[in-house]
Structure 1
Amino acid sequence: METMESAPKPRAQGQSPVWLAQRLIRFDTVNPPGDEAECVQWIRGVLDGAGIETRIVAADPRRPNLVARYPGRGLEPPLLLHAHVDVVPVEGQTWTRPPFAGEVVDGELWGRGAVDMKGQLAMMLSALLRMRARGDVPAGDIILAVVPDEETGSDVGSRFLVERHPELFAGVRYAIGEDGGAELGLGRHARLHPIVVAEKRTCWVRLTVRGPGGHASRVAPDTGTVNRLRRVLESISGGGLGIERTPVVDRMLEELAGALPGGVGARIEAFRRNPADPGVLDGLDGTTVRYLRSLVQHTVSATVLHGGTGTNVHPTEIVLELDGRVLPGGFTTEEFLTLLRRQVGADLDLELFVEGEISPPPRLDAFYDRLAAVLRSRDPEGIPLPVVTTASTDARLFSSRLGIQCFGWMPLRHGPDVVYRDRLHCPDERIGVEALEFGAECFHALLSGGP
């Protein structure tokens, strides 16, 4: 039975992650165009009202960045929390409930941004507000960066911050942001808590195919653009550019195999040892298999096609856009393009039009252990796991430009049938009320010096 509920009121309402997430969702910050100013100014009012220092810096006044600082005792370097308030569009999607109403129904908060990533921002805000109300003083300063524009490139958000205001992050060694949808979808086998330690890097390429034109009433020549395009698409139909084993993915797979029971763990271990075997992951769901296979190779996907002038004319030029993702570990753009040319044909024109930043190698050091310890203390049956995500987030900018070690950490506890990854950017995006409360508790424990 469906029930409408008001947000619960643990502690004070203003500290409740559910209440905070509701308010954030009710700001329409769809990007494009963004227009995040009203939402950011509301957050500033909440923090100012609690006596937490804030600063606004902006390349575009309609799309400001907020940087808040909660002073610590100076015993540790400052810790950065970063979160974006822009969300992806809802047009063309069929929603069961209004996407910007922030309704709580049957124990779940509905709305665009509930998972990506206003719900997580609410966890961070709740933890800071609770600390302030209790008079907690952390070991080091806590910096919260609330940014626009993550969904379309970060130019007026994190990129503007790291390029124009790096002084705001002086001394920061570690940062926590979103997990980029890194959930593995294996909840039926074990309750896993992903901690993102590395991301794949974006390399978007325009591939141009050329050939003779002519009247389309005649059979196209083998050298025609459509036939050449067909061969290109066939060459990349597997999705990858050859197996590449990396230390960070190897550790992830080793720990994942050990965390999963019986035959499932054995499949993951067999995949770790021989990722080229096409049948080694048989029995796992297709989404999980595709994700795991994306972690052992640079991937390339055909996404956009331009070409043709008329139905009765053989095109002389077709442009294909490819979404390339490069594994972490120092692989260069030139290496990626060389592999791509080898696969699609050396005589084709390739133009790199988006190039992601190369981040420093991940370090699974004492701070990673601290994140894992907080999760174990709040969920003894859960299993923290280092994870590589195939997507990229604002972490790439803080790590590549400022040398900050970034982690994607969205602590959630939910039932085995809930896969939050499948709600990202989708209609009926929603998050459990208990999951929000769990995440806020984990953030509070971390920032207070826990577990």
Structure 2
Amino acid sequence: MSTPVDEVVEICRDLLRIDTTNTGDNATSAGERAAAEYVAAKLDEVGIAAEIYESAPGRASVVTRIEGTDPSRDALLVHGHLDVVPAEADEWTAHPFGGEISDGFLWGRGAIDMKDFDAMVLAVVRDWARTGVRPPRDIVLAFTADEEAGGEYGAHFLVDKHRDLLDGCTEAVGEVGGFSYTVSKDVRLYLVETAEKGINWLRLHARGRPGHGSMVHDDNAVTALAEAVARVGQHRFPVVMTPTVRAFLEHLSDALGIELDTDDPEIAIAKLGPIANLIGATIRNTANPTRLDAGYKDNVIPSRASATIDCRTLPGQADLFLEQLREVIGPDLEIEHVQRQPALETTFDGALVDAMAAALRAEDPGARPVPYMLSGGTDAKAFQRLGIRCFGFAPLQLPPDLNFSALFHGIDERVPVEGLQFGVRVLDRFMRNS
């Protein structure tokens, strides 16, 4: 009989070989339907009834509920998304949809974001169904569409149109957390996400007087936009120490045996190596230009030029950030809100956190679970609308030299096979005792 450790690699390979590319446009996205059908079939194979919910053609999520032994307890939501960001095959060492195993890693787009966790969950509950295990409380499993473009066709759709599926859920776990950071041979910090920054995708619009490209022109929309975008890209917003980030840095300074200067936390963060960029983005609000759009002919000065700015805000900072951004770009540009979702933050305590810590320590005696803030956003933004307390806990034990944060949306995304197997053992323990 297969065990979760045996199955998790095979299931993850299968999922990686299903192209679920999400471009942010339904016309060009591959859609999640094939992956949703695979998930539903894997559950049905062991007698777990699951439903597929399609928000638009091909944009499919899967939801099921596993009944626990104590119906008086609130339910736990375990969620993972099925979509992935685009990948250019010629940039990769291994094909991004090949599911190749090489050098101890399983390669493919979605290997850590986040078909690895989907595979862990499937492997665990399939084993439970075969062996008659029931969790202590109801567990709702949600495999969602569209997380990579804000969740409109996935998690937000479920919250808006199928809220009853989440009845009783008061806590949730999903991406990105539970991964290791090696301090020494005997000590590893495991970063559990208790907070994540808010999303505010903005479009800046500059207007000017159109004209012939051969003329002297002092009212050029492209020039005005370019100057503003350059200022945004070069600007550094002030350092703000939120409770989660302060707690993480205090744990870090204790583990590394260094003093923490709260006025200059970047000194401590610089010692983090591969995850310094991930943590460094959580001590301030950020704004990064990502797209430009202007003009329709080489010799015509356009009347309008636009740029997209990816802004991420700390908890409680959204309104102040917009004031600060306006000072940077100046008074003349129009600001359009394309996507706006709030930051999240909860405390690092309670029975659920204790269960995470116990599961990690049972598999790794050197584990030290610590809270941290994710610089990006997840489907938790949708589920928190129902008052659900959300954590990132997709456990992985990582090689000390792996640049984990660079793999998210990067080339050569891969997950260590042994780390994946470690993760499924931890998740099994956690879900049995949550």
TM-based fold match above 0.5: yes
| Shift of residue 197, structure 1, vs aligned partner | 0.8
| Contact persistence 2:89–2:96 (CA under 8 A) | no
Q: Which residue of 2 aligns with 1:3?
A: none
Cα deviations by residue, 1:338-385 (Å, 9 ceiling, x for unpaired)? 2211222123211112111454x4132212232122212211113212
* One-letter amino acid of the counterpart of residue 22, structure 1: R
| Shift of residue 242, structure 1, vs aligned partner | 2.5
CA distance in 1, matches of 2:76, 2:6: 21
* One-letter amino acid of the counterpart of residue 203, structure 1: N
Query: Are positions 1:169 and 2:159 aligned together?
Result: no
CA distance in 1, matches of 2:181, 2:297: 45
Query: Are positions 1:73 and 2:58 aligned together?
Result: no
Kindly tell me: are residues 309 and 49 of structure 1, through their superposed partners in 2, closer, same or farther at Cα, counting changes over 3 Å?
closer
Match of 2:363 among 373, 378, 387: 378
Cα deviations by residue, 1:385-426 (Å, 9 ceiling, x for unpaired)? 211011111111001x21111111121113211233222223
CA distance in 2, matches of 1:35, 1:227: 38
Cα deviations by residue, 1:24-70 (Å, 9 ceiling, x for unpaired)? 22222222423322222222122122122322222235332211111
Moved more, 148-157 or 433-442: 148-157
Q: Could you say what secondary structure the match of 1:197 adopts?
A: strand
Match of 1:331 among 284, 305, 317: 317
CA distance in 2, matches of 1:286, 1:215: 51
Match of 2:291 among 273, 294, 304: 304
Kindly tell me: are residues 29 and 187 of structure 1, through their superposed partners in 2, closer, same or farther at Cα, counting changes over 3 Å?
farther
CA distance in 2, matches of 1:316, 1:185: 51
Q: Which residue of 2 aligns with 1:5?
A: none
| Shift of residue 442, structure 1, vs aligned partner | 0.6
Kindly tell me: are residues 288 and 49 of structure 1, through their superposed partners in 2, closer, same or farther at Cα, counting changes over 3 Å?
closer
TM-score between both structures, scaled by the size of structure 1: 0.85
Moved more, 377-386 or 198-207: 377-386
What percent identity do the matched residue pairs reach?
Answer: 35
CA distance in 1, matches of 2:406, 2:16: 19
| Shift of residue 217, structure 1, vs aligned partner | 4.7
Q: Which residue of 2 aligns with 1:4?
A: none
Match of 1:422 among 377, 391, 406: 406
Moved more, 62-71 or 310-319: 310-319
| Contact persistence 1:201–1:327 (CA under 8 A) | yes
| Contact persistence 1:183–1:420 (CA under 8 A) | no
| Shift of residue 127, structure 1, vs aligned partner | 1.4
Q: Superposed, which structure 2 residues align to 1:292-371 within 5 Å?
A: 292-328=279-315, 330-332=316-318, 334-357=319-342, 359=344, 361-366=345-350, 367-371=352-356
Kindly tell me: are residues 288 and 19 of structure 1, through their superposed partners in 2, closer, same or farther at Cα, counting changes over 3 Å?
closer
* One-letter amino acid of the counterpart of residue 370, structure 1: A
Kindly tell me: are residues 326 and 309 of structure 1, through their superposed partners in 2, closer, same or farther at Cα, counting changes over 3 Å?
same
| Shift of residue 82, structure 1, vs aligned partner | 0.6
| Contact persistence 2:274–2:403 (CA under 8 A) | no
Q: Superposed, which structure 2 residues align to 1:245-260 within 5 Å?
A: 245-259=241-255
Q: Could you say what secondary structure the match of 2:347 adopts?
A: coil
* One-letter amino acid of the counterpart of residue 16, structure 2: I
| Contact persistence 2:55–2:157 (CA under 8 A) | yes
* One-letter amino acid of the counterpart of residue 121, structure 2: M
Kindly tell me: are residues 425 and 231 of structure 1, through their superposed partners in 2, closer, same or farther at Cα, counting changes over 3 Å?
closer
Query: Are positions 1:20 and 2:14 aligned together?
Result: no
Kindly tell me: are residues 66 and 316 of structure 1, through their superposed partners in 2, closer, same or farther at Cα, counting changes over 3 Å?
closer
Cα deviations by residue, 1:71-124 (Å, 9 ceiling, x for unpaired)? 111253211111111122223642333333323223222222221111111111
| Contact persistence 2:355–2:433 (CA under 8 A) | no
Q: Could you say what secondary structure the match of 1:86 adopts?
A: coil
* One-letter amino acid of the counterpart of residue 415, structure 1: P
* One-letter amino acid of the counterpart of residue 38, structure 1: A
Moved more, 195-204 or 345-354: 345-354
**Structure 1 runs not aligned, ≥5 long:** 1-9
Q: Which residue of 1 aligns with 2:225?
A: 229
Match of 2:125 among 115, 124, 128: 128
CA distance in 2, matches of 1:15, 1:355: 41
| Shift of residue 177, structure 1, vs aligned partner | 0.7
| Shift of residue 227, structure 1, vs aligned partner | 4.6
Q: Which residue of 2 aligns with 1:6?
A: none
Kindly tell me: are residues 197 and 91 of structure 1, through their superposed partners in 2, closer, same or farther at Cα, counting changes over 3 Å?
same
Query: Are positions 1:440 and 2:424 aligned together?
Result: yes
Q: Could you say what secondary structure the match of 2:390 adopts?
A: strand
CA distance in 1, matches of 2:53, 2:5: 25
CA distance in 2, matches of 1:166, 1:273: 44
| Shift of residue 337, structure 1, vs aligned partner | 2.0
Kindly tell me: are residues 318 and 285 of structure 1, through their superposed partners in 2, closer, same or farther at Cα, counting changes over 3 Å?
farther
Q: May I ask how many residue pairs the two structures share in their alignment?
A: 426
Q: Which residue of 2 aligns with 1:36?
A: 32
Kindly tell me: are residues 198 and 19 of structure 1, through their superposed partners in 2, closer, same or farther at Cα, counting changes over 3 Å?
same
| Shift of residue 322, structure 1, vs aligned partner | 0.9
* One-letter amino acid of the counterpart of residue 404, structure 2: Y
CA distance in 1, matches of 2:272, 2:224: 34
TM-score between both structures, scaled by the size of structure 2: 0.88
Kindly tell me: are residues 183 and 311 of structure 1, through their superposed partners in 2, closer, same or farther at Cα, counting changes over 3 Å?
farther
Q: Which residue of 1 aligns with 2:149?
A: 152
CA distance in 2, matches of 1:52, 1:375: 27
Moved more, 237-246 or 371-380: 237-246
